[in-house]
Structure 1
Amino acid sequence: MTDSPDEGRSLWSRVLGVISAVGPPVTVVTALLFYFGWARADAQASSMGLDESLFGYAAQDYILISISALYLPLVLLLIVGIIWFALDRWLRRQIDEDRHRTLAAKVAGSAAVVAVVIASGALLVAFLQPARTAIFAPYVMAGGVLVAAWGLRLRRHARAGHAPVLRAEERAVEATLVLSIVTLLLFWGTADYAQAVGRGLAANFEQNVQSLPRAEVYSPQPLGIGADAVTVSDVGTKEQPLYRYDGLRFLVLSGGRFFFLHDGWTTENGTVVVLPDDNSIRVEFSR
């Protein structure tokens, strides 16, 4: 038995519905992870007197370094999303079964108004006191936009019953606009949060530089390291010169380069030593 054209269109409609529901959130989350990793690395490098491009991070590196800081927030967001989805299904079922339809419409409309007021207040406070609210205000605004859009759609559903109020094209435009606004707000908040995390990591290196692995660098040629805490010793011979540099602390190996701090390093007066990862030097690590 062959499928009818209507059944084929229904199947494709369901497939496209799943893609449209899953695709954009996955894309947005991936983009946020990448942007968070880049912003965090850029803020951390700037606090250490470096340029982020020196580390030579790839796209997957930015995503990986962002996961540790965003793991808990993402888990909380997923939990809230599951609860929200369950609540939405329950309310729609109550409306479809004609239970408390008028009350549901009033509650949904009130929730939308309250959400708009809260989002507007957060926007106003963010512009008046940006230094104090830059981290949380964009997230409050994003939540307000989502709750307002959800409340309006639920109110339309409660007042119109099963009859659609908006055409499919109008609903798609509405969803696109809401998603665009929320995405921009999330990028705004993510940038500020990532920069705060990056600066905090740089300050943490300053406080705990002695806990980093100790590194001794050997080179047949003078390296000209100018940090006062780094000492050089001639351990070679006249025929085979060899110089050893002590007082270094290993930071990271990235982009084909070693990055070292030194004993007593600070964000204000410290020097970050960058050496190539090749046969021109030998590095020994210890605790």
Structure 2
Amino acid sequence: MARANHGGAAGEQRRHPPREVTAALVGLTALGVLVVYFGREWARAHARALGLHENVLGLSAADQLARGVAALAPLALLVGGAGLGWAWLDRRLRPWWRRTGHSPVLSQVTSVLAGSWLLLPMLVWVVGRAAPGPARVLLPLSFGAGLLVSLYVLHLEHVVRRGRAEPRWRHTLVTALTVVVVSLSLLWGAKNYADLLGRRWADEFPARLADHAQVVVYSAERLHLTAPRVDEERLDAEESRYRYRYSGLRFLDYAAGRYLLVSDGWMPQFGVVLVLPANDPSVRLEFVRDSRVP
């Protein structure tokens, strides 16, 4: 009978994975959604900086994921490092908090930290007047971070020290609302971070244009490329498949089977982005490493 019970318990454990595994799967799914969302917002910010609609880029979910990982890595490392630091501090703070008496100083500190859900966003808003760019990213994150700090301090005060277990329904409700607020905080912060990167990219792009590879376009028919500083040359070779050559172009991006090119005279005010299909046999592209164009 004992073996049967043991086998039943083992089968029950196999059917229901541990909470740690479930939490890890939920966390990885949420992280993937956040990265894809950030990649989409980043592509949208780039498109707006170029004066394009986001659908022109035609980025797939895989493209958005790759770009989101590349750009969101510093923020993800920061959040991950903060989480690990919190876990390390929690192991040392719980015993100390349990042994500490009800000192007036600690009570005042607890009261202040319990209001972090409001105080932290207010602090970021005030400091953000001197640095509005970083504040656009930190302000949304401060709502989620402040709420987590408030709930953690209240947990230490009422559960760890006083041993007051809150009702199950309240714990479930608080957990659900916390997940909603923190998720919205991360999405809002990711959107503002993408906009900030898009604006910075647009400001720095003209100065970095010379670093992009030059492109020479050969075409069987006249393309009427009228971008600033683009030179059109008619080829006289009768046996040649291509009759026109365009120089003064720079490679911008490749997405959805299309090449995105800009001219050497691109500026945010009047710049032109050229979109050429990659599978068109009547058009050939040559990428030039140095400044010499044939």
Shorter chain as normaliser: what TM range? 0.7 to 0.9
Fraction of identical pairs, as percent: 28
Which letter maps to 2:228?
D
- For residue 257 of structure 1, report the CA deviation from its aligned partner: 0.8
Residue 264 of structure 1 aligns with an amino acid whose one-letter code is G
Aligned-partner Cα distance in 1 for 2:52–2:7: 62
Query: What's the CA shift for 1:204?
Result: 2.4
Shift of 1:201: 1.7
SS in 2 for 1:226: coil
Pick one of 54, 60, 84 that aligns with 2:62. Answer: 60
Is residue 2:218 matched to residue 1:221? Answer: no
**Kindly tell me: are residues 25 and 112 of structure 1, through their superposed partners in 2, closer, same or farther at Cα, counting changes over 3 Å?**
farther
Change (3 A) 1:196 1:99: same
**CA–CA separation in structure 2 for the residues paired with 1:231 and 1:33:** 40
| Equivalent residue in structure 2 for 1:143, among 127, 145, 153 | 145
**Post-superposition CA distance 1:158-180 (Å, at most 9, x none):** 3443x63222x432221111111
1:142 touches 1:185 (CA, 8 Å); kept in 2? yes
Residue 283 of structure 1: SS of its match in structure 2?
strand
Higher mean C-alpha deviation, range 175-184 or range 1-10: 1-10
Q: Give the 3 Å change call, closer, same or farther, for CA 54–286 of structure 1 in structure 2.
A: same
Paired residue for 1:208?
A: 208
Q: Give the distance between the partners of 1:47 and 1:100, measured in 2 at CA.
A: 55
Alpha-carbon shift at residue 117 of structure 1 (Å): 3.7
> Counterpart in 1 of 2:198?
198
Q: Distance in 1 between matches of 2:202 and 2:128?
A: 28
The alignment's C-alpha RMSD in Å is 3.2
Aligned to 1:90: 92
- Residues of 2 paired with 1:190 and 1:94: CA distance? 36
- CA displacement at 1:195 relative to structure 2: 0.7
Separation of aligned partners in 1, 2:76 and 2:112: 24
Structure 2 matches for 1:179-190, cutoff 5 A? Answer: 179-190=179-190
Alpha-carbon distance, 1:23 to partner: 3.0
Offset of 1:16 from its aligned partner?
Answer: 4.5
- Structure 2 residues without counterparts, runs of 5 or longer: 290-294
How many residues are aligned here?
283
- In structure 2, the residue matched to 1:261 is 262
Distance 1:204 1:237 in 2: 41
User: Contact between 1:122 and 1:141, CA under 8 Å: does it hold in 2?
Assistant: no
Q: TM-score, normalised by structure 2?
A: 0.84
Cα 1:8/1:150, change in 2 over 3 Å: farther
Q: In the superposition, relative to structure 1, how do residues 35 and 59 fare at CA in structure 2: closer, same or farther (>3 Å)?
A: same
TM-superposed CA distance for 1:49, in Å, is 1.1
CA contact (8 A) 2:125 2:139 kept: no
Pairing of 1:137-176 with structure 2 (within 5 A): 137-161=139-163, 164-167=165-168, 169-176=169-176
Cα pair distance change 1:125/1:11, threshold 3 Å: farther
Distance 1:119 1:263, change over 3 A: same
d(CA) in 1 for partners of 2:191 and 2:131? Answer: 13
CA distance in 2, matches of 1:208, 1:173: 51
- Amino acid in structure 2 at the alignment position of 1:257: R
| Separation in structure 1 between the aligned mates of residue 28 and residue 108 of structure 2, nearest angstrom | 31
> Does structure 1 conserve the Cα–Cα contact (< 8 Å) formed by 2:220 and 2:244?
yes
1:246 match: 247
* Cα distance change of structure 1 residues 24 and 268 upon mapping to structure 2, 3 Å threshold: same
- Is contact 1:260-1:274 (8 Å) kept? yes
- Once the two structures are TM-superposed, the CA of residue 108 in structure 1 deviates from its matched residue by 7.8
- The 3 A distance-change label for structure 1 pair 188 and 153 is same
**SS of the counterpart of 2:224?**
coil
CA distance in 2, matches of 1:29, 1:225: 42
Distance 2:111 2:11 in 1: 38
**1:127, CA displacement in angstroms?**
12
1:79 to 69, 78, 81: 81
Q: Deviations over 1:144-169 (max 9, x none)?
A: 011011111222213443x63222x4
Contact 1:111 1:151 in 2 (8 A): no
Classify 1:7/1:106 alpha carbon distance in 2 versus 1 (closer, same or farther; 3 Å). Answer: farther
